[in-house]
Structure 1
Amino acid sequence: MQENMDINFETGFSLSEALDILYNDIDADEIYIEPPEPCVQTDEDSGDENNGEVDNLSARQLRSKAEIKLANNKRYGGIGDDNIGLENILSSKSVTSSEQYKHVSTKSIDEWMKKIKTGKKSFTWIKGGDFEELQKNFPEPDFSSYKNLSIVDIFETFLDYDIINYLVDETRRYALFLNCPDPHITHDEIRCFISILYLSGYNKLPSKKSFWDSMDDMKNEAVCNAMRRDRFLQICRFIHCADNTQIDAKDKAWKIRPLMNMIKNKCLENFVPQKHLAYDESMVKYFGKHGCKQFIRGKPIRFGYKMWCVNTNDGYLVNFELYQGKDPRENEKYNSIFGKAVSPLILMLEDLPNSKKKLPYSLYMDNLFTGINVFNYFKYLGYSAIGTIRQNRIPKNCPLTDKKKFSKKERGSFETAIEKNEGILLVRWMDNAVVTMASTDVGTEKVSSVKRYSQKHKKHINVSRPNLVAQYNQYMGGTDQMDQNIATYRIGVRGKKWWWPIFTWLLEIPMNNSWTLYKKANSKQITQLDFRRELVQTYLQRYGIARIGAGRPSRSLSSSDSRISDDIRYDRMDHLVSYTQEKKRRRCAKDGCKSVGRTMCVKCDVGLCIDCFVNFHKK
């Protein structure tokens, strides 16, 4: 380690300085980059997405602030709430909890903030304390309003007409902004375009042009019959989510912000309250150049945009926010007391509609967010909270056994300490390693057992597990479940604009949430693949523009009845009787009818005799 480094920083250090630390043998595990100031030249394509090395970072990124996470889970640099200067990293191996755990004085944030006094707040801890689990009345989730909705109907509660209309308007405006002729893009074409994007997630081809390939081994007939290749590429070029003449220089995500807000509102509007909510970070894969791009070691997606997410335990996304360093929406009082990592959670909870905001939710989070102050605040709001907690956030006077000494105890051992006034419980449990957790209403009673493999005994053994650990393991994985759902059939069409990965991620949210609601509302279970295919087939048939092919239309029953989606056949909309083209004879598509007539259904595009027309469109 260099001893002649004369560096002193008051509020963190830049990325280039953080990289110098990494090269000086500091045992660093992760580095978080705080995004630089936004650049208004956002219409230019980014570089090829084939690298993600620190040597390729721009000057604006290197000048931005950064945070280092060491292998012992300590963080330095300014993003978390346990920061110290660079000189402390170079001169000492550890920092005491009294240096880390400080309360910021403030006048008031509602009534609870009035209880915060200037300086440090004292806590009175009782070793061995516990409390009984409080049974708060939470209404049963009611999914009845979604029970009779079809797959398309439930999907369009998220991606509705207003969003499609907005995309149409902004896309046409952007084409004119580039001095190109008005492309006259319609609502149907945007829906057809989106359905092709979804199809690319489960039917992957080498490039987006491959769907229109001339060879049968790659060509996709459904896509070819719904939209021409050049039209698809034209929409890809002009698709837009914001007005380029209305730039918000304080918002690094202004290019995608309007669509983000519309999707957020739909998620909140369709959220059926469930008691258990998980707060975690999600990564959107991106390897190009942008100030908001982050690198997190150990994540399935290491390079990309970081999203703060609130999810139910089944993966429904309730609310989200893009991390961009200095957020124009951030609350300085929340940041000063709780830290930048947990402030977005408080703001997202405030976004809940009034009818849903006051319910007694249980919040689950990992050690990046857990702190004594924020748990006090959640308890004041009527929420309960459970989370793992870092050693440097535990008050110095807490009587828990030292972590090193506790690690020598047998697996399954645990001890507790409870704060006398605030009623916050700390539990230290020995599993494969020492785990420390905090809780506001779930205790250690109802101790269960889990199987663990013992190296000492060379077999699986039963290990005691406190109740709050079991609760945490059961309900904390909501964001990871959403990530898994999205990654399974992620949209495969790529683009070079920096906002394209966020745009496709935003399109995945309605798919994920509508599928989750559909499963909850219907006893009939459906896989995500079947759900996506049904939606894509319906959209391609309903909104696609079929080619005019040569030859006569087929008269066989198998080629007519089987190609009609149930959503189109039974939607009771715009099914009109008409003569066939040039009054040519077509076989009736109704099962059991062998007549060959000259009438058809205009919407279904199948031959139907007058007697069978009504029954054909009834379930």
Structure 2
Amino acid sequence: MQQDTNFSGYYWKRPLTLNELLAEAEELELGDDAVPTEIVIFPPENDDITDEDSGDEGNVDINNLPGGQLGDNAEFMDMAPPAEHNSVDESMVPYYGRHPTKQFIRGKPIRWGYKIWTGTNRLGYIEWFEPYQGSNTKLSDEYKPLEMGASIVLEFVDALKASQKDMNYHIFFDNLLTSLPLLSELKSRGVKGTRIIRENRLSKNCPIVTAGEIKKQPRGNFDYATTEENEIVVCKWHDNSIVNIASNYSMVFPTIQVKRFSKKDNKVILVPQPHIIKIYNENMGGVDRADQIISLYRTCIRGKK
């Protein structure tokens, strides 16, 4: 695109994007009588390739975007306040166009868009992120043989360690990201980890009651077990549903009393809550808080072809 006006001295010889064209128009210091009456947008010349014709619009690799559009994780980490407690979760960027990396996640506030693996501190400051691109997700070669969830957590840990080596980090993540062996790996690196775990990820040899058995017990009951080396503790808690949680640092005791509404008694009752659940609830919501803050300042750009 080129801009031409009816007055001399203002003619751009290189192709301009729409954003550049608007920015240039705003910066013109002209009198009221010198304001251009019209802006002529020329079609691209033969040697100019538009986004629609380049063939890159179907490329699954988000890293092929022009330089700087994704930012740099190092800049995020340099500006982040040092924090012990950090969390990793998925975040969604709304997008309703056509692109191979667009995702649909049922139950999310933003169901359609790009999925971004995001690491934040407890207050919601984004320290690290990586766009999800399936098998093309940008990961270190040493982590590619691992499952996706473990690779994402370890990439985030490496970024934290590169920024503050002496910080005693504690990472929180949900059941989507890992299995129990990752907690042992974090323990060997001197990093604390706490996570929700799915029932089918528990070992069949884990000596705690099953979900069916604990459902028959009063609300607030829990059972737990530790490994022989006391490296990992696994706890099952009967709340509104059955919660399985594991950690290589946090302990079950001391318990606290939390309020829950009982339909049977039609009143609020107090039920015991393990300490490991309390720590997880206090520190896991960093990514959700970041999503909330971003939603307040999100700029919507609607493209037309």
CA distance in 2, matches of 1:312, 1:431: 27
Long gaps (5+) in structure 1: 1-170, 173-179, 197-226, 235-241, 498-619
CA apart distance, 1:273: 1.4
In structure 1, the residue matched to 2:68 is: 259
**Paired residue for 1:442?**
250
**For 1:304 and 1:262, how far apart are their aligned partners in 2?**
19
Alignment-derived partner of residue 364 in structure 1: 172
Kindly indicate whether the alpha-carbon contact (under 8 Å) linking 2:131 and 2:137 is maintained by their aligned counterparts in 1: no
How far is the alpha carbon of 1:254 from its aligned partner? 3.1
CA distance in 2, matches of 1:229, 1:443: 72
Q: Greater CA deviation, 416-425 or 355-364?
A: 355-364
Task: Measure how far apart 1:450 and its partner are.
Answer: 1.0
The 1:396/1:358 distance shift into structure 2, 3 A limit, reads: farther
Any gaps of 5 or more consecutive residues in structure 2? 3-11, 27-34, 43-50
Q: Deviations over 1:595-615 (max 9, x none)?
A: xxxxxxxxxxxxxxxxxxxxx
Secondary structure of the structure 2 residue equivalent to 1:277: strand
Alignment of 1:85-484 (within 5 A): 181-182=13-14, 252-256=61-65, 258-260=67-69, 262-327=71-136, 329-331=138-140, 333-337=142-146, 339-352=147-160, 354-421=162-229, 423-484=231-292
Deviation at 1:344, TM superposition (A): 2.0
Q: Which amino acid aligns with 1:354?
A: A
Deviations 1:497-551 (A, max 9, x none): 8xxxxxxxxxxxxxxxxxxxxxxxxxxxxxxxxxxxxxxxxxxxxxxxxxxxxxx
Pair 1:430–1:335, CA change in 2 (3 A): farther
SS at match of 1:274: coil
Contact 1:358 1:382 in 2 (8 A): no
- Cα deviation 1:469-503 (Å, max 9, x = unaligned): 01111110000001111112321332258xxxxxx
User: 2:30 — aligned with what?
Assistant: none
Q: Is the 8 A contact 1:452 1:463 kept in 2?
A: yes
Deviation of the 1:433 alpha carbon: 1.1
User: Which AA in structure 1 matches 2:207?
Assistant: P
1:411 CA drift (Å): 1.0
Residue identity matched to 1:317? I
Give the structure with the larger strand fraction. 2
Partner of 1:99: none
Does the residue aligned with 2:87 lie in a helix, a strand or coil?
strand
Q: Is the 8 A contact 2:60 2:99 kept in 1?
A: no
- Mapped to 2, the partners of 1:257 and 1:451 lie a distance apart of 51
SS for the counterpart of 2:123 is coil
AA at the equivalent of 1:465: Q
Label 1:184 to 1:430 Cα distance change in 2 as closer, same or farther (>3 A): closer
How big is the shift at 1:358?
Answer: 4.4
- Aligned with 2:63: secondary structure? coil
* DSSP 3-state at the match of 1:311: strand
Q: Residues of 2 paired with 1:257 and 1:184: CA distance?
A: 15
Structure 1 Cα separation of the partners of residues 193 and 160 of structure 2? 17
Give 1:289 deviation, angstroms.
0.7
Counterparts in 2 of 1:228 and 1:340: CA distance versus 1, 3 Å: farther
Q: Higher helix share goes to which structure?
A: 1
RMSD: 3.2
1:184 shift after superposition: 7.5
Indicate the structure whose relative CO is greater, using CA pairs within 8 Å and at least 6 residues apart: 1
Bigger Rg over Cα? 1
Q: TM-score normalised to the size of structure 2? A: 0.79
CA offset at residue 370 of structure 1? 3.2
Look up the equivalent residue of 2:224 and give its one-letter code: T
What percentage of aligned pairs have identical amino acids? 32
- The 1:229–1:322 alpha-carbon spacing in structure 2 relative to 1, beyond 3 Å, is farther
1:336 Cα deviation after fit: 3.4
